[in-house]
Structure 1
Amino acid sequence: MASAPPPPALTEAQFHDSRGMTVNIIAWVFTGIAIATVFLKLFARSQITKRLGWDDFFIFLSLALSIIAAAFVSYSVTLGLGRHTAAVIADHGADGVVLTAKWQILGFPFNIGAFSFPNISIAILIVHLLDRYPLRTNLLYGMVTVQVVIALVSVVLIFVQCTPVEMLWNPNTPNAKCWDPAVFNNFNYFVSAYTTVTDIVLAVVPISVFWKLQMPFSTKLGVCIMMGLTLLSAIVTIVKATYLHLFTDRTDPLWNVVPLVIWGLIEQNVVLVAACIPTLRPFFHKATFRSANSRSGTDNSRSRSGSRFKLSSNPKGRASSVSELALREDAKYETRAKGYDAESNNSQQGIWRTMEVDISSGKERDSERGENRKFRDIVPSSLRT
């Protein structure tokens, strides 16, 4: 394969141009947000609900990969990533360019893993929240499994597209051969398209279920927004896909690849945050109620509540709202749902499935029969205190 063309001549301003600071700021700001969100999730699970699951494992694995990817990129910046290739050659020689490109390329596999594994966590959460329909469960797990597999295949393609592999970061390697760049680029377009579809499905499926529940509009909207955050990661994936061709760019690789690196860093952390937010509701409810009760002087039992069904009534005793996707350790309700006893269910920490909540009495109970609200699998056992 012919050696890479010489880098174009630079003006004085171009010689000093650098996108390195921008790359580092984006890398560590977004990674920091992801770290904080993941540790809040793990704290909520381990301290409030006293249990961890496979979804937590995949989230922690993804965070570790995200941190490693950010570290590789940050180190590459110190070597010259974000500067024009000719400027790095002038300052550090051709070996400086080769070393910079090597560390930047070695970070891509960790980036791919970081944005792939969180979808497994999201699928597990959705399956736990919704009714157990085998077909839907198998389709969701199958979709995210295929998404992870093709993402891992793209990792393999990174390192087999050139022989020897050193050609990836040293275009002047003698006797090197590489595939047509279109092969690698087109497969990555396919991976991005499939990942986008997966993100959309993981958002639409729970939203379509929760939107049909009879609950206050504000609560319904809040839950749907939390469960639909993967739509944001789908948008980021689409934007990143427009820069995928820069991976095989040879004209000014250290400068031109920066947009792809930046959007890759954003994508891997956005999907992490999207996977964690829905499970943080009990944590924020616990913090909110403790703060509110300390100011109002209400009883201590309420200050211990993490999240709960908030029932209110008008002066006649008629139920006016059912909200707050919730839980109380010491909550006791009058329930009627196929002979299901709420208090014993709470002690067993079971899944809250379809139940009819009846808080009226006497004649009102008879008149309101049939108006009881139904909730399906709103809070899984793993989110209970």
Structure 2
Amino acid sequence: MTMDQFPPGYASETKGPMILCVFWAFFFVSALLVSARLYIRAWWLRNIGLDDYIIAGAMVMLTGYTVVTTINVGLGYGKHTPVIMQDGGIELLTKILIINYADFALGIMSFATPKLAIAALLNRVMNPGRFHRVWLWCLTGLVFVASSICIVVLFTMCNPPEALWKVDLIAAAATCRPQLVLVGYAIFTGAISGFVDLYLAIYPAVVLARLQITLKKKLALCAALGLGAVACAMAIVKCFQLPNATADLVIWTSIESNIIIIASCIPTLGPLYELARGNRSWSSHQRDYKNSGGQLHSASFDRLSKKPTFGDRRDAELMTRNIGTMKDGSQESILRVQENAKGVQHPRDRIQRTDQVVVEYEMNPVASSRPLF
């Protein structure tokens, strides 16, 4: 079939520019936030955690996904298949298909891995009970396992597997399962991913609603910790794109992956937010963390806050501290206590509140000159 048989402008139609625009715009934001997060946690606070390592690994996968997609678009991905065949023949089409399937695997892992980082972050910040800790890991682990199986299903669709990208083998001796098998399982994986995104967004909001903090702070924290709800919407849209398997599927996968990474980073930028407001100085904040072995005491907030009122001090702590989930909803549940041999309770590896009392007096000059007896 020659190009003359297609409508005018068919050969110039491509989604390549749109793919690159969406990919790199979101990637720039994700890279910026991840860099800020790792800088704050590793260099400023000197308190890097498991969630930071996981999000760094997810960012590596997202970088690979973005770079490989860019290479594929440069080869012609996003154009119509007849146009690709005319430009480079079956060899070019085979090369694009190979890269596309490798890109598919990177895309799946780039939106599955950040969910593990969110689970680690919520376990560290929200300080849930043991059951809920296990439950969060099970939910996010289920998405990771289901996504990994989806990759296996993809590369075992045909026998031999090369028939996925070698078009000549499909018409020869290759045997392939119906495309509906892959599409159905991919929709199942997307549904699980969307449900977990929604749960990870609702859970912090429910906990924060019970805390005795200002409404403004509640809304800010709910927005920061609940951004995963947007990723849920992206997962739903992606499920509707799966039956067609067009270039739009690649775009929505990228958006979902980036949104999850962004959602996992925003709650960790509290110290940077406080610094921007002028509530803390860089040197004082760093010195207090270093002197206290990584645990910034409440007294430090008293010195660094512009307005060291009780309510403001408590709200500031919630930006970087563990939030308990006791039924009374009091901020005192931030502290996790344990008893020593004498039965005295004290914080265990958590925030320690230090109250300093200074008594000043001035002796009367006249009275000081009199004898004591």
TM over 0.5, shorter chain? yes
Q: 1:356 to 1:191 in 2, by over 3 A?
A: farther
State whether structure 2 residue 7 is matched by structure 1 residue 25: no
Scaled by the length of structure 2, the TM-score of the pair is 0.77
TM-score w.r.t. structure 1 length? 0.75
Q: Hey, what's the Cα distance between the residues in 2 that align with 1:221 and 1:101?
A: 46
Q: Is the 8 A contact 2:44 2:286 kept in 1?
A: no
**1:86 deviation in Å?**
0.9
Q: Is the 8 A contact 1:282 1:326 kept in 2?
A: no
Task: Label 1:90 to 1:196 Cα distance change in 2 as closer, same or farther (>3 A).
Answer: same
Alignment partners' CA distance in 2, 1:289 and 1:43: 19
* Map of 2:78 onto structure 1: 82
Q: Which residue of 2 aligns with 1:276?
A: 265
Cα deviation, residue 304, structure 1: 7.7
Q: How many residues align?
A: 322
Aligned position for 1:218 = 216
1:56 aligns with 2:36: no
SS in 1 for 2:167: coil
TM-superposition CA deviations, 1:288-316 (whole Å, max 9, x none): 317x989xxxxx858988994769589xx
Identity between Structure 1 and Structure 2 (%): 22
2:315 alignment counterpart: 323
Whether contact under 8 Å (2:3, 2:11) holds in the other structure is no
Which one-letter code corresponds to 2:47 in the other structure? R
Distance 2:196 2:332 in 1: 38
How far apart are 1:240 and its partner, in Å? 1.0
Contact 1:48 1:283 survives alignment (8 Å): no
Once the two structures are superposed, what CA deviation does each residue of 1:245-295 show, in whole Å capped at 9, x if it has no partner?
233xxxxxxxxx2101111111111111111111111122124317x989x
Distance 1:70 1:304 in 2: 39
1:87 CA drift (Å): 1.1
Structure 2 CA distance for aligned equivalents of residues 64 and 42 of structure 1: 13
Q: Which amino acid aligns with 1:325?
A: E
Give the letter aligned to residue 177 of structure 2. W
Give the 5 Å matches for 1:301-340.
308=301, 322-325=314-317
**Cα-to-partner distance string for 1:182-202 (whole Å, 9 max, x where unaligned):** 111111111011111111111
What amino acid does structure 2 have at the position aligned with 1:15?
A: A
Q: Which residue of 1 aligns with 2:107?
A: 111
- Equivalent-residue separation in structure 2 for 1:356 and 1:189 (angstroms): 53
Change (3 A) 1:171 1:78: same
Does the aligned pair in 2 maintain the 1:286–1:305 contact within 8 Å? no
Note the aligned Cα RMSD (angstroms). 3.4
**Aligned equivalents of 1:7, 1:240: Cα separation in 2:** 32
**2:69 maps to 1:73:** yes
In structure 2, what is the equivalent of residue 180 of structure 1?
Answer: 178
Aligned residue identity for 1:352:
I
Q: What is the one-letter code of the residue matched to 2:88?
A: H
Seen in structure 2, the aligned counterparts of structure 1 residues 7 and 72 have a Cα distance that, compared at 3 Å, is farther
Q: How does 1:51-200 map to 2 (within 5 A)?
A: 51-173=47-169, 174-200=172-198
**261, 281, 284: which one aligns with 2:250:** 261
- Structure 1: runs of 5+ lacking an equivalent: 248-256, 295-299, 329-334, 341-347, 360-385
Give the letter for the 1:177 counterpart: T
Q: By how many angstroms is 1:6 displaced?
A: 11
Per the alignment, do residues 6 and 175 of structure 1 end up closer, same or farther by CA in structure 2, a change over 3 Å counting? Answer: farther
Distance 2:268 2:29 in 1: 16
Q: CA deviation at 1:111?
A: 0.8
Cα distance in 2, alignment partners of residues 234 and 71 from structure 1:
25
CA contact (8 A) 1:202 1:230 kept: yes
Who is 1:352 aligned against? 351
Which runs of at least 4 in structure 1 moved beyond 6 Å after TM superposition? 5-8, 302-307, 335-338
Aligned counterpart in structure 1 of residue 277 of structure 2, from 265, 274, 288: 288
Q: Secondary structure at the match of 1:17?
A: coil
Q: State the distance in 2 between where 1:200 and 1:108 align.
A: 24
Deviation at 1:72, TM superposition (A): 1.4
Unaligned runs of 5+ residues in structure 2 are 290-295, 321-330, 338-346, 358-373
8 Å CA contact retained: 1:88, 1:96: yes
Aligned match of 1:231 = 229
SS at match of 1:83: coil
Corresponding position of 1:13? 9
